[in-house]
Amino acid sequence: MADQPRYNPLAKSTFFEDARSARPLVPGTVARGHLRADEPFFAGKSGGELVTALPFPLTRGLLERGQGRFNIFCSPCHDRTGNGGGMVVRRGYRRPPSFHNERLREAPIGHFFDVITNGFGAMPDHAAQIPPTDRWAIAAYIRALQLSQNATLADVPPRARQQLEGKKE
């Protein structure tokens, strides 16, 4: 067992007809854990179009996770409110667009997932640093930021609106 025949990587082989020691993968082989068959979850797209809804239920825990991940990965450039004036920008890096401009408020949620995954413009991709579930959590938190910064009194439920206006039921 101590002296077994072996090949160095990419060495020439006399055993196989194609003379390669490194064997090609069987067609259709997918590495364990990399099937990624759920296109909306893993790509943020369905049939080539960006998805308009989260691929799983929105919960308070998801938003809290999104806020934490946003503060770690996104706020250095986008700042904690999403206006694009983070510390990196103050030090000379190119300013990202505000999440509160009309174009990004109207963008489907899949857009944010796609940009985090693949990068866009000066923003590098973060697919290696942020797992898909956390990318979705960040996208959901960006939506919450957009709502918080652009809310009107009409967006507040009637009961809460009465409390804000100082009226009793």
Instruction: Enumerate domains of the chain plus CATH numbers.
Output: 39-46+57-158 (1.10.760.10)
Helix axes 109-118, 132-150, angle to 10 degrees: 130
DSSP H/E element including 103: helix 102-105
pTM for the structure as a whole = 0.79
pLDDT of residue 8: 87
Within a 10 A sphere around the Cβ of 33, how many other Cβ atoms?
Answer: 6
* Average pLDDT of every residue of the chain: 92
Give residue for tokens 């697919």: 127
If you average pLDDT over residues 155-168, what whole number do you get? 80
Lowest mean pLDDT among 42-56, 61-75, 142-156: 142-156
| Mean pLDDT value across residues 44-71 | 97
pLDDT category at 168 given cuts 50, 70, 90 is low
DSSP state of 50: E
Q: Give the span between the Cα atoms of 134 and 42, in whole angstroms.
A: 11
Q: Which of 5-9, 33-37, 106-110, 148-152 has the highest mean predicted lDDT (pLDDT)?
A: 106-110
